[in-house]
Each structure stands twice: as C-alpha cells, then as structure tokens.
Amino acid sequence: MMQKNECKGCVESVIVSEEVIEELLKEAAETPEKLVLDSVYQERLSICRDCTSLQYGTTCAYSGCIVRYRAKFKRKACPNIGNPKWSKVV
Ligand code: SF4
C-alpha cells in the first residue's frame, strides 16, 4: 500500500528494474482517481526524457523518484523548484 506521499521511499535504490517499475505502475492503477489522463502522462514523460536531470533513463535527480511513477499522479509536479517543467493537475 502506498504511503501518503507516493514518491518518498517508493523504492530502495535509484536504479530499478523494469519489473519494479511495472509493479509500481500496477499499484498506481489501484487508485485511478489520483491519476492524470494518459495524454498528460505522456506529455510529462516526454518532457522528462528530454531533461538533463533524468538519470539512468528512469530517475529524477531532484527527487530520486521514478518518473514513470511520479508522472502518473495529479498532485505531483516536477520537483525542480527553480525551473519546474510540469505542474500538478488541480
Ligand atoms: S521530473 Fe522534472 S527535473 Fe525530474 S526528470 Fe522530469 S522534467 Fe526533469
């Protein structure tokens, strides 16, 4: 079960396998009311893919979050406070 803040401590390492990511995405799918539309999700991921802060192709250097997971949630925003590249959905 996810904690109140879905990103903090979601995984033990910043380098994660596809299997772990799939498991996180399955958990996210259990609360569809918290998730953005797929078009928003794809746009967020597109921005992350072009971002120099994306590490290992999976992980945001600012938050340590797996972007494919973080980008799913309406109330999450890009954690680069000085220059956020995508916003929460309200
Ligand atoms: S969440 Fe923001 S800072 Fe992190 S990889 Fe995506 S665009 Fe870059």
Q: What pTM was computed for the model?
A: 0.85
- How far does residue 13's CA lie from ligand 1's centre (Å)? 17
- Total number of domains in the chain: 1
Is 3 inside a domain boundary?
no
Is 24 inside a domain boundary?
yes
Are 14 and 64 in contact by the 8 Å Cβ rule? The answer is yes
- For the ranges 11-15, 77-81, 82-86, the lowest mean pLDDT is seen at 11-15
**Which residues neighbour 82 within 8 Å (Cβ) at sequence distance 6 or greater?**
none
Residues within 6 Å of ligand 1 by CB: 47-48, 51, 53-54, 60, 62, 67, 78-80, 85
Q: Would the CA dihedral through 8, 19, 70, 35 be positive or negative?
A: negative
Is 75 inside a domain boundary?
no
Domain that holds residue 24: 18-70
Is 57 inside a domain boundary?
yes
Residue at token pair 């406070």: 81
Q: Residue 60 pairs with which residues in a beta bridge? A: 54
- Summarised one tens digit per residue, pLDDT across range 17-52 is 999 999 999 999 999 999 999 999 999 999 999 999
Is 22 inside a domain boundary?
yes
Is 82 inside a domain boundary?
no
Is 53 inside a domain boundary?
yes
Is 50 inside a domain boundary?
yes
